[in-house]
Structure 1
């Protein structure tokens, strides 16, 4: 499939970005709504972590078949089918009256938007040049940060006026509009007949690849941990440890997500420049990711004094690990890119689910052992920090036969 000219390439990017904006808003909305949902449904930390993680559980569950479908049927057909499920999930969440109903709806939402990043990245692998892919990847993540910003103060302002359920009615309508834009703007994809693989390799080739194995632990703990903190635990920390009220916490999340937006915009500007000078993703992750461990350790030590700015610093310094995703995509042939990207996305979102739920379990567990709320949060994050440092150690010591 040939490269797209500049104008249709921009149109395709904007159509996909519109859908990804609302998928990210849907991802982050539980952090803003956590005080409201906790109060209305009497949720404990474990249930709150499980509810937020349900999105990522649904997301992760689809990644392996998603990759095969993307390579065979193309981004356009696949994302349109998935977004129908997302619309149903939003409507179901808005109608839920119990924790199990919320959980099922949240999983449906995760399933429905699980193609919103992988579909465009698979298309970009064939339609864009390598430098343009690096820029488009970062700017898709920037668009996601716009969505995360939209999930903070705008949602917090809307809830006292209309309640939290209409938020999900609006999300369902917006995702329906995104489907119309994608159907209009995105090119068709030559289909591969069922029974004939679009590439002679498969997931076994992906899992065996040295670069994939090297990137996977940091994808699980650092990338997954970044999303777990950004989309859930930064909010409860600000409320329950730093003493913010719900509006102040929403303002703090707004600050965090604006910081992420600016960071991903900057990565999009700089990535082609780094690529031209031979600065590999592996090299930049090696030198940059330890800053996130320092930031998280500072939060743990500072305790109640660590507020929104400290969490913004952690999220910004964690974005070095986002370079792993396009590096994995570029390491495979274009015909295998959907499966490679989806397999790595499975690693990331499995990490988000495990960390979101696991941190909740640890908070409740340390609390039951007699620690106060601040001590329980600190110890839970210390366990998370230890896992991140060990995964980084593996990344540094492992070999991937790639140029440094």
Structure 2
């Protein structure tokens, strides 16, 4: 990772005198400390997909309960997004992330001790609150500590780290559960959270809280005039409003499928065994890891050549929708190979992950935490409602006499139509804006 690369074309320059760009070696060490925390966040997000068979058996869960349980993580995550943006801008990534990770420790311990659905749900919500800053804290720091080109690279490589966490939630978890049990597994994750906190406390720089005030004062204009901690400048931004449906439904829905419904799809529709589904999830997340590694190397160069994230999203997203449509239409005919189309769908949707750091670059560093947290809130509200909504839709269709297989296909098809509509809004409003 380089901390001194040319900025993407069209990125606003940093206000003079506010540069705090880290030397390359320090930037790499800080990135690795943050990466451990984001690995943990992604592991916790995706682990319910692998554990769904054993949790369903132990607690007699139906599709609605399973979707709500997985969504509980995102509900807790979303609940702290708006105050967290203000906290990040005021207190900095280190203090905020350490405080919230302590809640993660409590959530993992509570999950390991839960004796019913209510306990599991509350523990998942605590986990969501605890890891809510694992992406936004580094991105807020990178907005000040890395130049614009390096920020795109760091974001892609954080996504790669997340894919590694989701990879760990597949076959490794499937192998460990019969040996240790799922409760002992969560005690191990609790220990990992404590290790992550120690690393962050050791290497992440302290926040210079007076810098944002200086930047806003020098910049003047509407950003400086906004009330302290206000989100008014964020919500009024045209680029932000344009990206909201895409982030909430198209990208958030892809994460919902990757982190929950891909597993049940492979077992219920594809007919895979739990081990076969975990293997499929492994290959899906490995594909995502490789692709995000590639984006991390390619994005600064593409940006320097004038290839925008908007253009990548507009051109590649239709292919991801086509893969999803083929998955729904083929259904059981794909058998164990359904993971291949799921992987293709997720991989072709990855350019949408780059919308977030590009939005942050359109705001002053003093507003970066709020801009990132507001968009993250949008994404995770979408993940929660898509995860729960697909489960509700599948149960509702079964109540009307559909088979379990066709009910899940129908619910996924409805999501696909909504996802395409949100991408169309993004594409058409982008042309109007230009």
If the length of structure 2 is used for normalisation, what is the TM-score?
Answer: 0.90
Confirm or deny that 1:308 pairs with 2:347.
no
Residue of structure 2 in register with 1:392 after alignment:
423
Q: Report if aligned partners of 1:214, 1:400 keep a CA contact under 8 Å in 2.
A: no
Between 1:378-387 and 1:353-362, the stretch displaced more is: 378-387
CA offset at residue 331 of structure 1?
Answer: 1.0
CA offset at residue 228 of structure 1?
Answer: 0.2
Counterpart-to-counterpart distance in 1, 2:390 and 2:361: 33
Q: Report if aligned partners of 1:211, 1:401 keep a CA contact under 8 Å in 2.
A: no
CA offset at residue 382 of structure 1?
Answer: 1.0
Residue of structure 2 in register with 1:228 after alignment:
256
Provide the secondary structure at the position in 1 that maps to 2:115.
Answer: coil
Residues 350-361 of structure 1 correspond to what in structure 2 (within 5 A)? 350-361=381-392
2:352 maps to which of 284, 298, 321: 321
Counterpart-to-counterpart distance in 1, 2:215 and 2:404: 53
Counterpart-to-counterpart distance in 2, 1:256 and 1:402: 35
Cα root mean square deviation, aligned: 1.7
Consecutive unaligned residues in structure 1, runs of 5 or more: none
Counterpart-to-counterpart distance in 2, 1:204 and 1:299: 41
Residue of structure 1 in register with 2:372 after alignment:
341
Aligned residue pairs, count: 402
CA offset at residue 402 of structure 1?
Answer: 6.7
Confirm or deny that 1:97 pairs with 2:144.
no
Q: Report if aligned partners of 1:135, 1:267 keep a CA contact under 8 Å in 2.
A: yes
Q: Report if aligned partners of 2:398, 2:407 keep a CA contact under 8 Å in 1.
A: yes
Residue of structure 1 in register with 2:3 after alignment:
none
1:218 maps to which of 236, 242, 246: 246
Q: Deviations over 1:192-223 (max 9, x none)?
A: 69x99975433111011010011110100111
Residues 4-403 of structure 1 correspond to what in structure 2 (within 5 A)? 4-191=22-209, 200-201=225-226, 202-306=230-334, 307-399=338-430
Q: Deviations over 1:101-142 (max 9, x none)?
A: 000000000000000000000000000011100000000000
Counterpart-to-counterpart distance in 2, 1:192 and 1:63: 23
Counterpart-to-counterpart distance in 1, 2:286 and 2:25: 28
Structure 1 residues 196, 346: closer, same or farther in 2, change over 3 A?
A: farther
Structure 1 residues 397, 186: closer, same or farther in 2, change over 3 A?
A: same
Provide the secondary structure at the position in 2 that maps to 1:243.
Answer: coil
Counterpart-to-counterpart distance in 2, 1:196 and 1:86: 34
Structure 1 residues 295, 150: closer, same or farther in 2, change over 3 A?
A: same
Q: Report if aligned partners of 2:97, 2:133 keep a CA contact under 8 Å in 1.
A: yes
Q: Deviations over 1:53-108 (max 9, x none)?
A: 00001111111000000000000000000000000000000000000000000000
Between 1:83-92 and 1:296-305, the stretch displaced more is: 296-305
Provide the secondary structure at the position in 1 that maps to 2:65.
Answer: helix
Residue of structure 1 in register with 2:221 after alignment:
none
Consecutive unaligned residues in structure 2, runs of 5 or more: 1-18, 217-223
CA offset at residue 186 of structure 1?
Answer: 0.4
Provide the secondary structure at the position in 1 that maps to 2:54.
Answer: helix
CA offset at residue 305 of structure 1?
Answer: 3.0
Provide the secondary structure at the position in 1 that maps to 2:426.
Answer: helix
